[in-house]
Structure 1
């Protein structure tokens, strides 16, 4: 995730009222799908309240090599989609096909669909890497994971949650108002670390009282992707904001707050 929201600036379009309402409906549906997917992601990783989790074994566990290959393909599909569609070059091409107003909603929709695909076809690797049997200690670890998810959600609101997920753009367009340019801002946690959303995901993915090989694969692969994503994202941010972002990067830590 970024300090910017990748919105497109534009004057109120001359499209019809029906077209604007259609764009609003599209953005609203994309947002609802994202919201449900986000809640499912919490259950999928944490292991509760959803039909299938990272460790669910239906009848018998698949052969480990089969599960490994399938899971790596699913993770690769998400990584390519999520990072590829976020690049400036891809967005330039996409906005020649769809209206810039719904570009962010389209990105959010496809990211959600890639996650749904991953959740649906994920193969368990149930062998245990570690297990915390003490009930109080396990509850404490679950609390840490919940804290990670709260960091994720809170951080999105710090940088405009509804703009980040495309809903603000389609709403302003439907009202005939100008969609503002992207701006550089570092509120709250962004003054301490450059990527608090990613930090929250890392905490949530690794804080598990029971760590299976399947969960470990998910956590390790997404951690690697996060660092690759940060590198690509910061390259774009430097291209957009120049020295302003370079100075911010030199001053503020990437993920772990500087002690001094």
Structure 2
């Protein structure tokens, strides 16, 4: 019973860390509220070295991509189940992903060179598309099984001492129109901005490349 309670608490903590990282990401990408964002740094030191900024930012995004890709592989899952209960696997994936995201937000080097700037109706339109993207991303997780996706369902089932039931393949709502609405939402949120900087563009291109490579391979 104690072990099952630990699994449940672990899943809740993992979900809490995910929630923090997701909420911070809204501010990070959109330059809202948070102290350090994709274009704004709390560092008041000297000017950012461009080559250093590119290397650091690409390394951070590569770390996230590698973690996602490796932990999604069946061979890794078979190895992981030898050291962690099956009910912990998804929570572990979510926790590590969230921690790497927080590391990225912390260590990101803004590159403020402007690529495009808009105002008036165009700026409002791009801002609207940006928030539509986040709405699609969030809503798409609830169109399938939000709590299964982030490891809570598995932990609650294990806490009750029952087997994790299988799930049939479904294509609800947006999934009938778009194969991966979650990724579509991310792409809209990353690209739709009234003010695009070189750092933001690097972030958008790198994440788009990863999403397309992951979806089509």
Q: What TM-score, normalized by structure 1, do the two folds share?
A: 0.80
Q: How does 1:30-69 map to 2 (within 5 A)?
A: 30-57=14-41, 58-59=43-44, 60-69=46-55
Residues of 2 paired with 1:193 and 1:88: CA distance? 26
Shift of residue 159, structure 1, vs aligned partner: 0.9
For the structure 1 residues 47 and 121, does the alpha-carbon distance in structure 2 shift closer, same or farther, using more than 3 Å as the test?
A: same
1:188 match:
173
Q: Encode CA deviations 1:58-109: one digit per residue, 9 max, x unaligned.
A: 3243111110011111110000001211121211111111000110000000
Q: Is the 8 A contact 1:37 1:115 kept in 2?
A: yes
1:173 match:
158
CA RMSD of aligned residues (A): 1.1
2:206 match:
221
Which of 100, 109, 114 is the equivalent residue of 1:114?
100
Which of 84, 91, 96 is the equivalent residue of 2:70?
84
* Long gaps (5+) in structure 2: none
SS in structure 2 of the partner of residue 79 of structure 1: helix
Shift of residue 140, structure 1, vs aligned partner: 2.3
Q: Is 1:151 matched with 2:136? A: yes
Residues of 1 paired with 2:190 and 2:176: CA distance? 23
SS in structure 2 of the partner of residue 183 of structure 1: coil
Q: Encode CA deviations 1:15-64: one digit per residue, 9 max, x unaligned.
A: xx111111000000000100110111111101102111000133243111
* Long gaps (5+) in structure 1: 1-16, 233-260
2:13 match:
29
Q: Is the 8 A contact 1:61 1:126 kept in 2?
A: no
Q: Is the 8 A contact 1:27 1:102 kept in 2?
A: yes
1:258 match:
none
SS in structure 1 of the partner of residue 216 of structure 2: helix
2:61 match:
75
Shift of residue 176, structure 1, vs aligned partner: 1.7
Residues of 2 paired with 1:119 and 1:183: CA distance? 36
Q: Is the 8 A contact 1:70 1:122 kept in 2?
A: yes
SS in structure 2 of the partner of residue 129 of structure 1: strand
